[in-house]
Amino acid sequence: MSSRDSVDQLRLATRGSALALRQAGSVQEQLGSRRLSVELVTVETTGDQVRDELIHRLGTTGAFVRSLDEKVLDGELDAAVHSMKDMPTDGPPELVVAGVPERAAA
């Protein structure tokens, strides 16, 4: 979470894809059941912006998570929801995986 003095509402970063919004909505619902107010904030990532290249040709890992992580590290947003398949193995050491929800039925 960011270093804001008081948190009236948790600002949660998510990509704008249908899958990302469903996953973030599930996290929002779970946190809401614990009486936390959560606002979803859509962030466009490099992976979203580059549509004419294969993802491995971008020459970087984390194309779908880096922009969200930067917003958290800058204190602009409190946390982010990522799909585990998009997570690089060498993410920023200042960030932690705070939770992994149960996997949804296929």
Active site residues: 86
- Report the C-alpha gap between 12 and 79 in whole angstroms: 5
Nearest by Cα to 42 from 70, 20, 75: 20
User: Which residues neighbour 97 within 8 Å (Cβ) at sequence distance 6 or greater?
Assistant: 87
Structure tokens at 102: 């149960």
- Report the C-alpha gap between 26 and 30 in whole angstroms: 6
- Report the C-alpha gap between 101 and 106 in whole angstroms: 15
